[in-house]
A and B are shown apart, each in its own frame.
Chain A
Amino acid sequence: MDYALRARLAKRFYRFLSYTLLIGVAIIIIMPLAAMATTSIKQMSEYNVWPINILPRVPQWSNYAAVFEMAPYLKVALRTAALGIIVTIIVTASSSLIGFAFARYPVKGSKPLFFIVVGLMIIPYIVVLIPQFVMYSRLHLTNTYWPWIFGAIAGNSFYIFLFRQFFLSFPRELEDAAEVDGAGPFRIFWQIFLPNAKPVIAAVMIFAFSYIWGDYMTPLILLNDDKTLLSVKIATSYSNPQGVWLITIALAANLIYMLPLVIVFFLAQKHILKGVVTSGLKG
């Protein structure tokens, strides 16, 4: 009896501790986003008051208009979206084909090559990016979008890996039957494997687009201000003529900037998390 009581109390205590931690971390997660939202509708003079008012006295919705007036936000956003979509389509196409080859054609050399594909994930990105920049600048390809296109055509280790893992699980009979019917390798890929890979395609497309949309380093290094992408534009805009950074308007800009990614995340959460898990458990 006494033992049962103690066990029950211990269990209660664990529950209490668990929920406290869960809610505590949840608050920490939400706080910057909440601060972002409320500060984005404050006046600049309200930002520096102490003690802090969490909510603005009068919501300054005009901050959101200023986002588009103070910087060519829309133009740069459209440019970034266009590049993002083009790169996403190319990188998804190439990575799926490459992943298909690695999964279904275990010919001589495929194992060591796949080892390199995975190994490249371990090389620090920046160790490759800076020498690439040297090469592109010698070829006069800096301040163009070609580096993105070339990179997309070559595929991406992580996406290749995701497609390979997925295509490995397909039954052999599917392929054999199509081959008996006279379908070539590309048709088997295009008409049988790809249409059945929609979850991975969705995940890879979201990863690819989010990456281009959020990437700061590559546009910073490769592009000048006249051609730059949204991440760099937002980070370097929204100062007043005296050079004071208007954080309230910058926050409004950043909220608009991150909104598409957040919406896509809520819509396609299942596919995204599955992709993340695949990378973390099978690598």
Chain B
Amino acid sequence: MSSPTVSHKPWQSGDHEKNTAVSTKVEGRGLTRGQRRTVTFYLFISPWLLGFIFLTTIPMLLGFLTSFTNYEGLSIANLRFVGLTNYVRAFTADPEVGFSLGRTLLWGLFNLPTWLILSFAMALILNQNVRGQGFFRTLYYLPSVVPVVAAITAWKVILDKNAGWLNGIIDLFIPGTAIGWLSDYAMPGMTMIAVWTGLGTAMVIFLAGLQNIPDELVEAARIDGANSFQIFRYITLPLMTPVIFLQLVMGLIGVFQQLNLPLVLTQVGISTGAVPPRQIYLYMIHVYRQIFISSRWGYGIALLWLLFIGVFVLTLIVFWTEKYWVYSDRPEEGR
């Protein structure tokens, strides 16, 4: 086994080693030890198990039941079972659902590629022998620790239509610029904020992935006469696909549940009831407004379930594509 993929080997081998260790020990000392270990395991994870039952499963089931009612949030006096009405309404009677879903897809189209490509590119650059590698890595990660409210307040100074720095810079080249980065062009505006906050995390992960690529592999290719582009295309990129894949999956889920950014962007300094600009009226914003502004709890939670199912199916589809483009070094597939 010359595989130098250090990162996840210890975990796999550790698992196997322990499995066999347990079964031999059990034979040696009788069953009680195995039983004791089982009891200990379930005792130790019981906080999580209770949380999983009472804080995740039961609320979600209650939510599922609620989605078939006209629940309005406060009293249950005139709670009625309304069957599939809420779900039917989502598909037939509420044009905002389709609209906000479209905005969300557009948001993904703006945000995901920009974020993934930029963070990957910066990781590639930093992985070379550049001066100040540590400095740039620290600097790029810095926005990730800035809380969302602070990040958005800061970006309001940059993106403001009349007094923003970005329009100020563009104005130097095209006088008279007044682009509404927070209103009519809120989609690119919000993308800038999202990429700014998310760049560091993905880049640090990509950088670590790049550093796990064995030098011998690159050296061997170079001796065989491969140029930099070929090394990137046939060694770096394939070996990085598992890391890219995971970031893509998490990013995709993030796209559909994006609520924080448009909400804070709308609420900071204005009011908690303000309506976000149409540009960034995302699906979750619509859900949020149904529940907390219009008190349509049953309907809002039905929309949440539709989102959950949609994201689940999408994740399955992405996992299905995995075997076509993601490199795998699992031993059972033959090496």
Contact = CB atoms under 8 A, between A and B. Distances in A.
Contact of B22 (A26, A29, A106, A261): A106
B230 interface: no
A169 B51 CA distance: 27
A282 to B, nearest CB: 5
A16 to B, nearest CB: 12
Contact of B145 (A100, A220, A262): A262
B10 A169 contact: yes
A280 B55 contact: no
Q: Is the interface of A mostly helix, strand, loop or mixed?
A: helix
Contacts of A236: 267, 271-272
Given A238-B269, A262-B142, 16 more contacts: A26-B136, A36-B153, A94-B48, A97-B44, A109-B41, A120-B52, A130-B301, A131-B301, A153-B50, A168-B14, A216-B149, A231-B147, A234-B149, A250-B269, A251-B154, A277-B204
B246 to A, nearest CB: 5
Q: Is the interface of B mostly helix, strand, loop or mixed?
A: helix
Nearest to B153: A254
A148 to B, nearest CB: 11
A220 B264 CA distance: 10
Contacts of B136: 22, 26
A66 interface: no
CB-based closest 5 A-B pairs: A154-B51, A280-B205, A131-B63, A214-B147, A245-B269
B158 A31 contact: yes
A36 B297 contact: no
Nearest to A231: B149
Interface string A1-32: 00000000000001000110110011011111
A107 B41 contact: yes
B11 A168 contact: yes
B168 interface: yes
B292 interface: yes
Contacts of B256: 124
Given A21-B121, A101-B44, A124-B308, A216 B148 contact: yes
Given A22-B130, A50-B163, A247 B253 contact: no
A283 B246 contact: yes
Given A102-B45, A127-B257, A221-B292, A39 B55 contact: no
Given A21-B122, A25-B140, A39 B157 contact: yes
A155 B48 CA distance: 6
A87 to B, nearest CB: 14
B136 to A, nearest CB: 6
B327 interface: no
B194 to A, nearest CB: 13
B28 interface: no
Contacts of B63: 130-131, 134
Contacts of B243: 280-281
B218 interface: no
B201 interface: yes
Interface stretch (B32-40, B81-89, B90-98, B99-107): B32-40
Nearest to B126: A22
A150 B55 contact: yes
A29 B140 contact: yes
Contacts of B313: none
B205 A31 contact: no
- Which of A109, A135, A262 is most buried by chain B, counting CB atoms within 10 A of its CB? A135
Interface of B: 7-8, 10-11, 14-15, 17-19, 21-22, 34, 37-38, 40-42, 44-45, 47-52, 54-56, 58-60, 62-63, 66, 71, 73, 118, 121-122, 125-126, 128, 130, 132, 136-143, 145-151, 153-158, 162-163, 165, 168, 171, 196, 199, 201-202, 204-205, 208-209, 212, 228, 243, 246-247, 249, 253, 256-257, 259-260, 263-264, 267-272, 284, 287, 291-292, 297, 300-301, 304-305, 307-308, 311, 315
Contacts of B305: 127
A98 B48 contact: yes
A78 interface: no
A128 B305 CA distance: 10
Contact of B253 (A124, A251, A255, A277): A124
Contacts of A125: 257
A126 B262 CA distance: 14
Interface residues of A, number: 100
A172 B17 contact: yes
B60 A245 contact: no
A254 B138 CA distance: 21
12 contacts: A124-B256, A125-B257, A130-B301, A131-B304, A153-B50, A155-B47, A216-B148, A231-B148, A235-B153, A247-B157, A250-B269, A280-B208
A264 B45 CA distance: 30
Contact of A134 (B55, B157, B204, B297): B297
A282 B204 contact: no
Given A150-B51, A153-B47, A168-B15, A257 B7 contact: no
Given A21-B121, A282-B7, A250 B146 contact: no
A35 B157 contact: yes
Nearest to A147: B55
Contacts of A250: 153, 268-269
Contacts of B59: 128, 131-132, 134-135
A70 interface: no
Contacts of A165: 11
B128 to A, nearest CB: 7
A51 B34 CA distance: 75
